[in-house]
Structure 1
Amino acid sequence: MLVSPSQTRLDLTVPDGRIVALACADPRDADAVIAAVGGKGESTGVHLGDPTNPERSSLEVTTRTRFSTRADLLVEPHVVDLFDGTLREQLATRLPEGSEEGWEERALHAAGAEDLLRILPESYDTRILDRGANLSGGQRQRIALARAVAADAPVLVLHDPTTAVDAVTEQHIAEALVAARRDEDRATLLVTRSPALLRAADEVVYVRGGRLAAQGDHLDLMDRDDYREMVQR
């Protein structure tokens, strides 16, 4: 996936088999990238495939094409959207056909949400109210993350998926999520300022003032005062 949104002066490539983290000093830049990747615009600058390589097909994600890209691209926004239904129904919203047995457990593990099976009175058959009204913020967020992992999209984009959980759970999620997406035909973009997710990513792209400020390993970027200040807030 190639991301070159017009709202920012940024060229970002997320190759297959890689987990890339995008850390934006200004939340508005993160919102602009999420809007572009979600196809909100007639010309977003976001392409599935490689538009610079004539031998590989490429499709720009726009208002007109975003529905035709749903099988290949899943964008999970920061705002959690749960419906009235059981836990299993929530997780299976976009489950691919032919998913292997045990997909529920793997999805919950990747989202650090195995404890829900002990907490919820009827396990997978527990009814979740509209908007997750009978859950805590952290539980809602982890169910949404597990649902996104279960979809197993070739390209997955997550926006701040761990803001409602504690530091220990966040570290577990970071490790398990990266392991779940570590596949040569899967690409993952994490739009986040979470230190745990930034450490777990293969590469961090740091955006400041709407443009690329630096990129590389999280630990190396921590030598920058402005980056360190951002992630330690």
Structure 2
Amino acid sequence: MDLTVAASELVGVVTPAPTAGDSLVAVLSGRVARSDYGGEILLGGTPLHTIEHVQARKNLLVEPHDTDLFAGTVGSNVTVGAGPNVDERFVDRVLHASAAIHVVTVHSDGMSTVAAERGASLSGGQRQRVALARALLTQAPVLVLHEPTTAVDAVTEHAVAEGISSLRHRAGDGKGCGFTTILVTSSPALLAVTDRVVVLDSDGVVAEGTHADLARSDERYRRAVLR
């Protein structure tokens, strides 16, 4: 595949074969040894494998589809890694953008609600929203999200799509926020808010355009996305 994602772009990636999405996310996350994939992954023009891991993670955060929460509270799972001087107003924006605010408000203890190991005390949709809030709070320059809304209802999914777009790509003055986001997903709601969508299969990028254009013109895209 040959794919360039520009700074500040919100890009959707659709893989009709789910394993292709899994592989792409695994490579971008650094979980695949350099010797096990061909070609180059460049982050800001620098080969990803040459960047020290901690520094690479600060600049490129990959949130996998199956992500674990740790034993603690909902609040500690959201703010872990955010540092001691976290902006409470931004935390509130993140909770709304990820729809995790509903996880907080449904429990009387709010952010102090106990979260069991691996998030076992929360529903699948609640775990997804808390994990998404945690990822959004990092404000990573490049954020890759892999199917972040599969366990939520359609209304929540549309709210999350709008929340991600607004938080990372539209500042209060209507200007872009400077972040780059890649959504590896088959969700029409998420794809509808992207700047463009690329379709990948074993031959690489086989289609590219807006969600609306591809939905009208590409049968493979319709089969993969419109359900």
Is the shorter-chain TM-score for this pair beyond 0.5, marking a shared fold? yes
Q: Does the aligned pair in 1 maintain the 2:3–2:205 contact within 8 Å?
A: no
Q: When the two structures are aligned, how many residues end up with a matched partner?
A: 216
Aligned to 2:172: none
Q: Does the aligned pair in 2 maintain the 1:96–1:152 contact within 8 Å?
A: no
Aligned to 1:48: 43
Aligned to 2:209: 216
1:121 positional shift: 2.4
Cα offsets for 1:13-71 (capped at 9, x unmatched) = 22111111100111111111111101122155221102xxxxxxx2x223974333121
Segment drifting more, 144-153 vs 209-218:
209-218
Percent identity reads: 41
Aligned to 2:157: 170
Aligned to 2:16: 25
Aligned to 1:228: 222
Aligned to 1:71: 58
Aligned to 2:182: 189
Q: Does the aligned pair in 1 maintain the 2:168–2:178 contact within 8 Å?
A: no
**Equivalent residues in 2 for 1:1-233 (5 A)?**
10-39=1-30, 40-42=32-34, 45-50=40-45, 58=46, 60-62=47-49, 65-95=52-82, 98-182=85-169, 183-222=176-215, 223-233=217-227
Q: Does the aligned pair in 2 maintain the 1:38–1:61 contact within 8 Å?
A: no
Cα offsets for 1:147-189 (capped at 9, x unmatched) = 0001111110000000001111101100111111114431111
Cα offsets for 1:115-148 (capped at 9, x unmatched) = 1222122001111111111110000000000100
Return the letter of the residue paired with 1:18.
E
Distance in 1 between residues matched to 2:85 and 2:208, nearest whole Å: 38
Mind listing any 5+ residue stretches in structure 1 that lack a counterpart? 1-9, 51-57
Mind listing any 5+ residue stretches in structure 2 that lack a counterpart? 170-175
* Partner SS for 2:104: helix
Return the letter of the residue paired with 1:47.
L
* Larger helix percent: 2
Return the letter of the residue paired with 2:29.
G
Distance in 2 between residues matched to 1:66 and 1:34, nearest whole Å: 16
Cα offsets for 1:48-100 (capped at 9, x unmatched) = 102xxxxxxx2x22397433312111110000210001111111112156543
1:113 positional shift: 2.0
* Partner SS for 2:144: strand
Aligned to 2:173: none
Q: Does the aligned pair in 2 maintain the 1:16–1:184 contact within 8 Å?
A: no
1:172/1:229 Cα in 2 relative to 1: closer, same or farther (>3 Å)?
same
CA RMSD of aligned residues (A): 1.7
